[in-house]
Structure 1
Amino acid sequence: MIIAENIFTVRDLTYRIRSAAIGDAKQLSALRLKIDGETEYLDREPGEAFLHEKDFEVLIQEDTKQSRHLFLVADIEGDIVGFSRCEGHSLKRFAHKVTFGVAIRKDVWGYHIGKELLAASIDWADQQGIQKMSLEVLETNQKAIRLYEHHGFLIEGVLKNDKRLADGLYYNTVVMGRQRPRF
């Protein structure tokens, strides 16, 4: 699905939140690889489950067609610095919900890009009548957990020893969900 773009300025940094376009595929492939190497908050090691430009083209095309999918990017003067996806479900028993994920380049952390991608996704989900958004976050990522809680997400469970990071230790994953407000 496609949404209208929005422009934000935070401490002299101006960025745009918009729907992903086919022409973004090359940048998204490189960005995902870069971000995977910048933080252990995401699921992949650098280079794992690599998506080529063509893979992103297919993903963007499918997400644009699907009413229960949303692929957003954040760009600074055409340079993509982050992205988020809401992925809906085709099974009827799960058609009421989407799964949310977000990734932001480390050098632009602190400019509310993740917050605005999340807010745009929540607005879209509410407008689509989606009843639930769910996500998973590493338990050590307290800043993200607080952001999600601020936007109405509740902790629904903890997956114990769910991820093994570079230090060889196991870490918990927090499962969070947000129910659409009843109007």
Structure 2
Amino acid sequence: MQTTHRPFDADTYHVRCATVSDAAELARLRVQLDAETEHFDRFPGEAVLDEEAFRTILTGSSTVPDRILVVERSGQLVAYSRCTGFSLRRFAHKAEFGIGVQKDHWGQGIGNQLLTQTIDWVKTSEIKKIQLSVIETNHGAIRLYQRHGFQEEGRLRHDRLLQDGCYYDTVLMGLQLI
């Protein structure tokens, strides 16, 4: 089923930088997202980031660029994105990006808004490339990334095992900002 894309409604959804006070809600949201779709690397219950883990991430003690954006609706987080740089000097020019939106809110322009704001932020930093990986079946995300200039840079064949017992490719994508 293809999701219809609507323009982002800034009166309904509020995008902002995550704060330490969002840690518990981010932990809850991540668990929910893992259970709603198989687009993520994890099976539900694997590699859980609890409130304390998010609190540590959000304290900003890292020496690499790291930005988490959240989307609120009626006081509840419904989506987030994270863009994280690398600590090794050979890779300090790039960052990894990931996004998650509650299934009930797909098609509302949330992913587009998160990606737009992330790219705008990256352009003010030393980062020259954003990279990400996406499962081949996540057509909506792939189209979103392509609309923003991301290109497929490779594939990891039969990389992910889903609950249907089949293996799927991981698509590697990148956006050059130089």
The normalised TM-score by structure 2 is: 0.91
Question: C-alpha separation between the residues in 2 aligned to 1:62 and 1:166?
Answer: 36
User: Structure 2 counterpart of 1:136, which letter?
Assistant: S
What residue is the counterpart of 1:166 in the other structure? Answer: 163
Q: Please show how residues 62-77 of structure 1 align to structure 2 within 5 Å.
A: 62=60, 66=63, 68-77=65-74
Give identity over the alignment, percent: 47
Deviations 1:44-76 (A, max 9, x none): 11111111111110011137x656111111111
What residue is the counterpart of 2:55 in the other structure? Answer: 57
Structure 2 unaligned segments of length 5 or more: list them. Answer: 1-7
Question: C-alpha separation between the residues in 2 aligned to 1:51 and 1:22?
Answer: 14
User: Structure 1 counterpart of 2:45, which letter?
Assistant: G
What residue is the counterpart of 1:48 in the other structure? Answer: 46
Q: Which runs of 4+ in 1 moved over 2 A?
A: none
What residue is the counterpart of 2:120 in the other structure? Answer: 123
The normalised TM-score by structure 1 is: 0.89
What residue is the counterpart of 2:5 in the other structure? Answer: none
Question: C-alpha separation between the residues in 1 aligned to 2:42 and 2:60?
Answer: 23
User: Structure 2 counterpart of 1:116, which letter?
Assistant: Q
Deviations 1:155-176 (A, max 9, x none): 0001000000000000000000
Question: Of the two structures, which has the highest relative contact order with CA contacts closer than 8 Å and spacing of 6 or more?
Answer: 2
Question: C-alpha separation between the residues in 2 aligned to 1:102 and 1:177?
Answer: 15
Deviations 1:80-120 (A, max 9, x none): 00111011011110000000000011111111111111111
> Would you say how many aligned residue pairs link Structure 1 and Structure 2?
171
What residue is the counterpart of 2:129 in the other structure? Answer: 132
- The structural deviation recorded for 1:130 is 1.3
Structure 1 unaligned segments of length 5 or more: list them. Answer: 1-7
What residue is the counterpart of 1:84 in the other structure? Answer: 81
